[in-house]
Chain A
Amino acid sequence: MGRMSFVLRRLVLLVPTAVGVTIITFFMVHLIPGNPAVTILGQRANPSTVAALDKQLGLNQPLIEQYWLFIDRLFHGNLGQSLYYQVPVSSLITSHLPPTLWLLCYAAVLGVAISVPLATLAASRKDAVRDHVIRVVPLLGLGLPAFWFGLILQTWLGTKLRLFPVTGYGQGFTGHLHSMFLPALTVAVALCPVLIRSLRASMLGVLGAEFVTTARAKGVPAPRLLVRHVLRNAVIPAVTVLGINIGYLIGGTLIVEQVFAIPGLGSLMINAIFERDFTVIQSVALVYGVLVVLVNLLTDVAYVALDPRVRFDA
């Protein structure tokens, strides 16, 4: 089976997954007790005002009909109106997507920037003291609640030392770099343990391989050996690990966005849940679902692109 058919096959699989995601979100969201009309009207809500607003928002129709309406709109590229703001959901999503993407990419870059040197240091001297230290310390990162770590960074590096803004997305490229550093670091710290371990393991694997022993015998200097030969081969499984974890992290940024007041998809989602803004919840869940599947697909493709030996057996 060739590459193209692999990619196509995966893209086709995207469809039932997406449908499944929409069904589950739609019905689950509507099972949640509470009514957006109540949020919008607040203390002014009484049975008659709520009923009137329900009718206006189309909430009094049977669920199945509302679901078909949602799917129908979807095929026309229309994600519906936010019940809270009364503006198109697609505009809310387009404005909130960039900060989340920034956060994810920045976190991935920081994660890699921290993990690669550490893993290299560890693998180059297996079982030495520094190897043990580098293996154990990141384990702390596994048990680290993101919101707690974010709070600590925010308070000490942000407020006390004033090194970074405590919240927000910033303006302009350098502004983003500055404002998003702390949140990206918070997310990266969850990535590092896994990346370091995986990189180290695969580097050790490669270091034991024949071609490396040959190169050493030929007198290739150690740093060049590491970078040119070892790293390049070791990076392949790490890419897979990174890809899988980005999928998890897409959801994990929700809390970090709350703590750092980043106007991304996560904040939009959490606010929408509290406000019972069904249309926004459905659409954002769909966007998340598509993002995760796309990232997984990209990971698979990248894996194959990097390692020509791998074939597309399902």
Chain B
Amino acid sequence: MRHRPLLTTALTAGCALLALAGCGSSASSSAGGATSSSSASAGAPVTGGNLVFANPQDAQSLDESTVFDNNSIWIIEQITQPLFTVTSNGKGVMPWLATGYTVSKNQLAYTITLRNGVKFSNGTPMTSKDVQFTLEQTMAAAQGWGYIDSAIKSVTAPSPDTVVVNLKYKWAPILADLALFANGVVPDNYGGKTAAAFYQAPIGTGPFKFDYWHKGSGLKLIKNTNYWQSGKPYLDSVTWTDVPNDNTRQLQVTSGQAQIDQYPAWSTVSALKSTPNVALSLFPSTETTYLAFNEKVAPFQDVNVRRAISYAIDRSALVKAVLFGNGQAANSIFPPQLPYYDPNSGGLQYSVADAKAALAKSSVPKGFTTTLLLPSGNSDYATIATIVQSELKPLGINVQIQQQDPNTANENFQSGKYDMYFSLWTMDIPDPDELATFALDPTAGSKSFFTFYNNSTVVKAVHAAEVTTDTAARQADYNTAQSQAAQDAFMAFLYYSPYQYVESSNVHGFLVTPLGNYHMEDVWLSPGS
């Protein structure tokens, strides 16, 4: 099972189809029947078909106001939709259930116009009352996503197709917040049900509606015949199954029992490239893998020790051994898909000479013994661990590998009971602030990504970038933060990796955004396989 940060939004992104969505029409609507070819080359989308999506982990809940896990979120996004959504390159926001907005002079009130002709899956038309109810419910979810709407003072519905959002203070990210999946529009008053009953089978305006959920086995959504994008969705149904074993998921796709495999093991990639009937997709992502050092444990408070270790790791060897070449060495705390990424920030790269020099300057020139904590059952981490162990040995650094089950390992990491630990990050919003605060600010709840790294120059730069909207100034601040963090090697930045999916060759239109989510209304199956 993988670890992914759970600060995920449902900023659903389409591709070119977003442009079409704006026009309110899309590709051919009634094209039943066969297309000319059954191979990967496209042709017109075909309506019909049932798709099985094999996931390593089951969803947890369909309650959008409280759920945090990615799989649940990406499924909920097929059922409910927010007013705005993130663009396909993950760098901006655009209208979705809204068509436009105006801002008051004092920037405290946003008047949003709603799209016409949108219906819930039960046929009820969507109005501003539904939007008002949705936002108020999310705001009230104190244990859940309530904080995301904390800038909102009130929401009013002056007319059926207008909503006014009143803010407590000026807040530029409000549109991004409204685009969060937790603000996906649900029927007013939950259609008369209690919240708990409603979320057993939620109703929304999305392309699919809830059919059943056999926990631990499969969750099925069927086509919403009242969906507002005409001609879509193409598929009759999508079923997400829970199959933790990598090998089993792969077998399911190659034998035709499933059409999409989420996160196949990297080791199978080369075999998959030569397997008929399947295609491997590598989607650009914001995913980065790091090796974290606990600065509360000696000798990691010594910058030269951290630099030595960072220099000693051959990142291209890791990319080859773990990702089988499908990735690149990381050179900054930020990934390349993120705005304000600086390719010249100087993240340390492989150099044995520099590693030895740095260690010689440090407080433990002869080396030392330490432990590398790993979540068990993850063969990628196990591979990286053995490689790092063998690369640090010549320096006199003896690494003992300790595997714990993922839950325990994670807990120990977050409570600072570790020496070194692998961590992973994926962006949830198209703005560096989320990562910068999480990873570089020791006063935030995450204590600099649990490394206790504290550099006042970096902290100042991060705070400065939060309060200004001047892009040049922000770039300068983030450049400072990235370079300093690189020099201090508070973590070793290992590699950037894409999102890997395996699809049967008859799957078309499947796209994953850099934030990790996808649009099932764009997916269609060509007949035959």
Let me know if chains A and B touch directly in the complex, using CB atoms closer than 8 Å.
Answer: yes
Could you list which residues of chain A lie within 8 angstroms of chain B, going by C-beta atoms? 32-35, 38-49, 52-53, 56, 82, 84-87, 92, 95-96, 151, 154-155, 158-159, 162, 165-169, 258-261, 263, 267-268, 271, 274-276
Which of A52, A96, A167 is packed against the most chain B CB atoms within 10 Å? A167
Residues of chain A lying within 8 A (CB to CB) of residue B241: 168, 261
Q: Which of B5, B244, B414 contacts A271 (CB 8 A)?
A: B244
Which residues B74-112 have CB closer than 8 A to chain A? none
* B252 contacts A166, C-beta separation under 8 Å: yes
B214 within 8 A of A: yes
* A38 contacts B255, C-beta separation under 8 Å: no
Residues of chain A lying within 8 A (CB to CB) of residue B143: 49, 52-53, 56
Which residues B126-140 have CB closer than 8 A to chain A? none
Q: Which of A167, A169, A268 contacts B251 (CB 8 A)?
A: A167
Q: How near does chain A come to B368, taking the closest CB pair, in angstroms?
A: 27
* A33 contacts B216, C-beta separation under 8 Å: no
Which residues B394-450 have CB closer than 8 A to chain A? 405-408, 410-411, 414, 445-446
The number of chain B residues with a CB under 8 A from chain A is 37
* A158 contacts B255, C-beta separation under 8 Å: yes
* B214 and chain A: residue at smallest CB distance: A95
30 A–B contacts from the bound complex (CB under 8 Å):
A33-B408, A38-B411, A42-B69, A43-B3, A43-B6, A44-B7, A45-B414, A46-B414, A47-B445, A49-B143, A52-B143, A56-B143, A85-B215, A92-B215, A95-B215, A151-B247, A154-B248, A159-B251, A165-B255, A166-B252, A166-B257, A167-B251, A167-B257, A168-B241, A169-B217, A258-B245, A261-B241, A267-B216, A271-B216, A274-B1
Q: Which of B215, B244, B408, B410 contacts A258 (CB 8 A)?
A: B244
Q: How near does chain B come to A91, taking the closest CB pair, in angstroms?
A: 8
Residues of chain A lying within 8 A (CB to CB) of residue B3: 42-43
B61 within 8 A of A: yes
**Known contacts A155-B251, A258-B245: does B6 contact A92 (CB below 8 Å)?**
no
SS of A interface (majority) = helix
* B69 and chain A: residue at smallest CB distance: A42
* A34 contacts B411, C-beta separation under 8 Å: yes
Q: Which of B61, B244, B247 contacts A85 (CB 8 A)?
A: B61
Q: How near does chain B come to A271, taking the closest CB pair, in angstroms?
A: 6
* B406 contacts A271, C-beta separation under 8 Å: no
Contact with A along B1-25 (1 / 0, CB 8 A): 1011111000000000000000000
Contact with A along B39-79 (1 / 0, CB 8 A): 00000000000000000001011000000110000000000
Could you list which residues of chain B lie within 8 angstroms of chain A, going by C-beta atoms? 1, 3-7, 58, 60-61, 68-69, 143, 214-217, 241-245, 247-248, 251-252, 254-255, 257, 405-408, 410-411, 414, 445-446
* A165 contacts B68, C-beta separation under 8 Å: no
Which of A39, A42, A169 is packed against the most chain B CB atoms within 10 Å? A42
Q: Which of B215, B251, B408, B445 contacts A154 (CB 8 A)?
A: B251
* A40 contacts B247, C-beta separation under 8 Å: no
* A92 contacts B216, C-beta separation under 8 Å: yes
Q: How near does chain A come to B62, taking the closest CB pair, in angstroms?
A: 11
Q: Which of A45, A84, A267 contacts B60 (CB 8 A)?
A: A84
* B68 contacts A268, C-beta separation under 8 Å: no
A165 to B256, CA, bound (A): 9
* B58 contacts A271, C-beta separation under 8 Å: yes
Residues of chain B lying within 8 A (CB to CB) of residue A169: 217
A267 to B216, CA, bound (A): 8
Residues of chain A lying within 8 A (CB to CB) of residue B248: 154, 166-167, 259-261
Q: A-B pairs with the 10 shortest C-beta distances?
A: A263-B217, A34-B407, A42-B6, A46-B445, A43-B5, A166-B251, A34-B408, A44-B6, A261-B243, A33-B408
A248 to B255, CA, bound (A): 32
Residues of chain B lying within 8 A (CB to CB) of residue A259: 245, 248
Residues of chain B lying within 8 A (CB to CB) of residue A166: 248, 251-252, 255, 257
Q: How near does chain A come to B245, taking the closest CB pair, in angstroms?
A: 6
* A158 contacts B216, C-beta separation under 8 Å: no
* A165 contacts B257, C-beta separation under 8 Å: yes
A35 to B407, CA, bound (A): 7
Q: How near does chain A come to B148, taking the closest CB pair, in angstroms?
A: 12
A47 to B7, CA, bound (A): 16
* A262 and chain B: residue at smallest CB distance: B217
Q: How near does chain B come to A123, taking the closest CB pair, in angstroms?
A: 40
* A46 contacts B216, C-beta separation under 8 Å: no
**Known contacts A35-B411, A268-B216: does B68 contact A159 (CB below 8 Å)?**
no
Residues of chain A lying within 8 A (CB to CB) of residue B252: 166-167, 261
* A82 and chain B: residue at smallest CB distance: B215
A34-B411, A82-B215 are known contacts; what are 16 more A-B pairs with Cβ within 8 Å?
A: A33-B408, A34-B407, A42-B69, A43-B3, A43-B6, A43-B7, A45-B414, A85-B215, A95-B214, A155-B251, A260-B248, A267-B216, A271-B216, A271-B242, A274-B406, A274-B407
Q: Which of A53, A92, A159 contacts B255 (CB 8 A)?
A: A159
Residues of chain A lying within 8 A (CB to CB) of residue B408: 32-34
Residues of chain B lying within 8 A (CB to CB) of residue A86: 61
* B215 contacts A40, C-beta separation under 8 Å: no
Residues of chain A lying within 8 A (CB to CB) of residue B446: 46
* A155 and chain B: residue at smallest CB distance: B251
Q: How near does chain A come to B228, taking the closest CB pair, in angstroms?
A: 31
Q: Which of B61, B257, B405 contacts A168 (CB 8 A)?
A: B257
A277 to B61, CA, bound (A): 15
* A167 contacts B407, C-beta separation under 8 Å: no
* A43 and chain B: residue at smallest CB distance: B5
A151 to B248, CA, bound (A): 9
A84 to B406, CA, bound (A): 15
Q: How near does chain B come to A278, taking the closest CB pair, in angstroms?
A: 12
Q: How near does chain B come to A265, taking the closest CB pair, in angstroms?
A: 10
Residues of chain A lying within 8 A (CB to CB) of residue B405: 34, 274
* B410 and chain A: residue at smallest CB distance: A38
A87 to B197, CA, bound (A): 11
* A41 contacts B243, C-beta separation under 8 Å: no
* B424 and chain A: residue at smallest CB distance: A43
Residues of chain B lying within 8 A (CB to CB) of residue A162: 255
* A38 and chain B: residue at smallest CB distance: B411
